[in-house]
């Protein structure tokens, strides 16, 4: 393991010999110029030059300060100390309704797509919590137990669709019971169920399951996805489903009353997800109010930074060099036109301070984003993406993270990686900045279309045009996608004719003649039978 925490500072140490060689070359050049005026002794006698001893001491201090500052910039480390790391958080189970009614498009792009985007935004904003995932329709299916791997949960959300569970319908009570079984008992964390559904429940156990959760101390936060007006429920072939009781097209509407009752019983909260806004900031705020218990702690040996042993002497040597008089007659100051300028000394002092300052602070998020923007403009897309991802890890605020998610998604889009672009741009839409959301929707439509998902691209543009009907770019892109022929679907495989059953053959049921070797051993009778001719 290297003793330096900043590898770039090590390269700065290698620059010191090059600078020393450059200074020696300049000194030799000065001596040659002094020889033209009769030698160095003659020049010193005719001018006011620094005292040789003080000049040597000043130069030694400046070079020593520069060397120590470069060493501090490399952040040397030695010695270890045990540091206790404590982990706190919640246990959260995501309940995702994947029934056929979640395919209704009364909100763009659809109820299920919008719920999955909100769930991914929650995973991006959540910190330190264990999350599980249960998809449900007529029956619940556990896709993931409680885990800290939010990336795995986000991937599993992509497969949560109406085709995942064959048993259709919506049974919220069974889903809540399945989520309760995922929580460990006794629990060392506060426990929360986050339910995404339209509230249309064909079961009868939702209220009873909510009471069971409340008795166990589990809170249920409900997010109603859809509108009160509702919309037709699409069938397997894309045509609206038929209501068997009326014979008319089936219409699904948001049942906010049932969800509000479930949330009230379990001391939870209810939000409606119907417009273009996001409920993730409110969810994160409510979870932040809960008591977050410490659930784990571990001791880790941490190496100690020792750059102060280099930085403090460097500053002292720098101040001492600046305090030394630079003239032989400093008690009787020379005229202003004979004083030597201290610009060189000041430049070296500023260089030392700049190098020392970088030992305290890493590169800021703003500078990372600016470097990424420059790299993106120059066509270095991979470099820009890496810088944006590094800035995301250091971003201090959620608002800045949403912008960085948008920039990272745009880089993925330029790199022809539409699925990664969809993931990042979906996270960018969770913010409250309307400008970021508008641009994210536009780029999201391009990512969907690049991934051969024409319908979702059009849905994203429709959502954008609903909020801003005057958006010319969205209008043009929408018209252009409409004019493009939809992607050709592969032809269905030809139907194979049913296997024909062969009728029974009577001859096959008769005894077979003996084998050829047996036939050769059979001899004809010596005398013909009565009534038969010998020929």
> Which pair of structure tokens corresponds to residue 75?
């952040």
Residue 177 pLDDT greater than 90, yes or no = yes
Using DSSP's 3-state secondary structure scheme, residue 304 falls into: strand
- 145-165 average pLDDT score: 85
Query: Which of these, 158, 209, 67, lies nearest to 451 by C-alpha position?
Result: 158
> Which pair of structure tokens corresponds to residue 24?
């020696």
d(CA 183, CA 92): 9
In this structure, what DSSP letter does residue 323 have? H
Buried/exposed code over 466-488 (b: 16+ C-beta within 10 A; e: otherwise): eeeeebeebeebbeebeeeeeee
Determine the pLDDT at residue 341.
44
Determine the pLDDT at residue 268.
92
Determine the pLDDT at residue 190.
85
Determine the pLDDT at residue 371.
83
* pLDDT tens-place string over residues 248-276: 888 888 989 999 999 999 989 999 988 77
**Domains of the chain: which residue ranges?**
7-76+306-329+342-357, 86-234+249-297, 365-483
Which residues 6+ apart lie within 8 Å of 202 measured at CB?
138, 169, 170, 171
Q: Please give the backbone phi and psi of residue 312, each rounded to the nearest 5 degrees, phi first.
A: -65, -50
Q: Tell me what percent of the residues of the chain surpass a pLDDT of 90.
A: 14
More confident of the two residues 171 and 126: 171
Residue 175 pLDDT greater than 90, yes or no = yes
Residue 52 buriedness (CB in 10 A; 0-12 / 13-18 / 19+):
exposed
Domain spanning 365-483: CATH 3.40.50.1820: no
Residue 27 pLDDT greater than 50, yes or no = yes
DSSP state letters, 91-137: EEEEEEE-SGGGG--SSSS-HHHHHHHHHHHHHHH--S-EEEEEEES
Query: Which of these, 211, 157, 221, 222, lies nearest to 190 by C-alpha position?
Result: 221
More confident of the two residues 226 and 431: 226
Determine the pLDDT at residue 363.
46
Determine the pLDDT at residue 131.
92
Q: Tell me what percent of the residues of the chain surpass a pLDDT of 70.
A: 71
Determine the pLDDT at residue 48.
54
Alpha helices in 429-496 (DSSP H): 434-450, 454-467, 472-483
Only one residue has tokens 């301070």, namely 353
* pLDDT tens-place string over residues 84-143: 545 567 889 999 999 888 989 888 888 999 999 999 989 888 777 889 999 998 889 898
More confident of the two residues 316 and 293: 316
Least confident of 191-200, 210-219, 325-334: 325-334
Least confident of 46-55, 174-183, 294-303, 308-317: 294-303
More confident of the two residues 487 and 482: 482
d(CA 515, CA 24): 110
* pLDDT tens-place string over residues 375-429: 888 888 888 888 888 888 777 666 788 888 889 889 998 898 888 888 888 878 7
d(CA 61, CA 290): 57
More confident of the two residues 314 and 347: 314
- 313-323 average pLDDT score: 82
More confident of the two residues 168 and 325: 168
Determine the pLDDT at residue 302.
57
The beta-carbon contacts of 246-255 under 8 Å, at least 24 apart in sequence, are 252/101, 252/104, 252/198, 252/200, 252/226, 253/198, 253/200, 253/226, 253/227, 253/228, 253/229, 254/198, 254/199, 254/224, 254/225, 254/226, 254/227, 254/228, 254/230, 255/198, 255/199, 255/200, 255/201, 255/224
One fold for 86-234+249-297 and 365-483: no
- Confidence category of residue 42, pLDDT binned at 50, 70, 90: low
Residue 355 pLDDT greater than 60, yes or no = no
Determine the pLDDT at residue 330.
41
Half-sphere exposure of 423 (CA within 13 A, CB side): 15
Determine the pLDDT at residue 193.
95
Determine the pLDDT at residue 340.
44
Determine the pLDDT at residue 174.
92
d(CA 24, CA 332): 31
Which residues 6+ apart lie within 8 Å of 252 measured at CB?
101, 104, 198, 200, 226, 230, 231, 232, 233
Determine the pLDDT at residue 336.
44
Determine the pLDDT at residue 335.
44
- Confidence category of residue 321, pLDDT binned at 50, 70, 90: confident
Pair 444, 426: CB distance under 8 Å: yes
Residue 155 buriedness (CB in 10 A; 0-12 / 13-18 / 19+):
middle
* pLDDT tens-place string over residues 195-215: 999 988 888 889 999 999 999
Strand partners, 234: 240
Strand partners, 95: 134, 195
Residue 476 pLDDT greater than 80, yes or no = yes
Domain 86-234+249-297, CATH:
3.40.50.410
Which residues 6+ apart lie within 8 Å of 477 measured at CB?
442, 445, 446, 461
- 302-326 average pLDDT score: 77
């Amino acid at each position: 393991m290297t003793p330096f925490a900043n590898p770039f500072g090590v390269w700065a140490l290698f620059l010191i010999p090059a600078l020393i060689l450059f200074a020696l070359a300049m000194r030799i050049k000065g001596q040659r110029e002094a020889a033209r005026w009769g030698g160095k002794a003659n020049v010193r006698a005719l001018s006011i030059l620094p005292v040789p001893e003080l000049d040597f001491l000043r130069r030694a201090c400046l070079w020593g300060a520069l060397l120590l500052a470069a060493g501090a910039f490399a952040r040397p480390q030695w010695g270890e100390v045990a540091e206790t790391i404590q982990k706190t958080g919640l246990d959260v189970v995501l309940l995702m309704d994947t029934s056929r009614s979640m395919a209704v498009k009364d909100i763009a792009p659809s109820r299920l797509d919008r719920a999955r985007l909100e769930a991914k935004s929650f995973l991006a904003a959540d910190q330190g919590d264990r999350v599980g995932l249960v998809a449900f329709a007529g029956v619940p299916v556990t896709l993931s137990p409680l885990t800290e791997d939010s990336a795995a949960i986000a991937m599993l959300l992509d497969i949560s669709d109406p085709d995942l569970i064959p048993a259709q319908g919506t049974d919220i009570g069974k889903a809540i019971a399945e989520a309760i079984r995922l929580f460990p008992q006794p629990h060392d964390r506060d426990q929360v169920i986050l339910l995404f559904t339209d509230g249309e429940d064909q079961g009868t156990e939702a209220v009873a399951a909510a009471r069971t959760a409340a008795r166990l101390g589990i809170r249920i936060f409900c997010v109603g996805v859809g509108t009160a007006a509702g919309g037709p429920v699409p069938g397997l072939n894309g045509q609206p489903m038929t209501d068997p009781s009326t014979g008319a097209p089936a219409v699904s509407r948001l049942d906010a009353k049932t969800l509000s009752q479930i949330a009230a019983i379990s001391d939870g909260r209810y939000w409606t997800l119907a417009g273009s806004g996001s409920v993730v900031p409110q969810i994160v705020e409510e979870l932040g109010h809960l008591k977050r218990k410490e659930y784990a702690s571990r001791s880790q040996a941490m190496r100690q930074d020792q750059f102060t042993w280099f930085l403090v002497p460097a500053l002292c040597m720098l101040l001492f060099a600046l305090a030394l008089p630079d003239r032989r007659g400093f008690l009787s100051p020379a005229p202003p036109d004979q004083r030597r300028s201290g610009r060189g000394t000041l430049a070296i002092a500023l260089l030392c301070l700049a190098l020392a300052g970088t030992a305290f602070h890493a590169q800021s998020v703003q500078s990372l984003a600016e470097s990424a923007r420059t790299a993106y403009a120059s066509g270095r897309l991979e470099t820009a993406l890496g810088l944006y991802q590094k800035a995301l890890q250091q971003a201090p605020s959620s608002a800045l993270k949403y912008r960085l998610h948008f920039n990272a998604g745009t880089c993925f889009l330029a790199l022809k990686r539409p699925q990664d672009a969809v993931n990042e741009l979906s996270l960018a839409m969770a913010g409250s900045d309307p400008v970021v959301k508008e641009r994210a929707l536009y780029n999201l439509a391009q990512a969907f279309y690049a991934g051969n998902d024409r319908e979702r691209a059009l849905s994203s543009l429709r959502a954008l045009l609903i909020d801003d009907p005057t958006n010319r770019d969205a209008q043009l892109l929408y018209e252009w996608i409409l004019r493009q022929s939809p992607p050709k679907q592969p032809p269905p495989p030809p139907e194979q004719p049913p296997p024909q059953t062969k009728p029974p053959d009577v001859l096959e049921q008769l005894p077979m003649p003996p084998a050829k070797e047996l036939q050769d051993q059979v001899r004809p009778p010596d005398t013909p039978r009565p009534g038969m001719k010998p020929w």
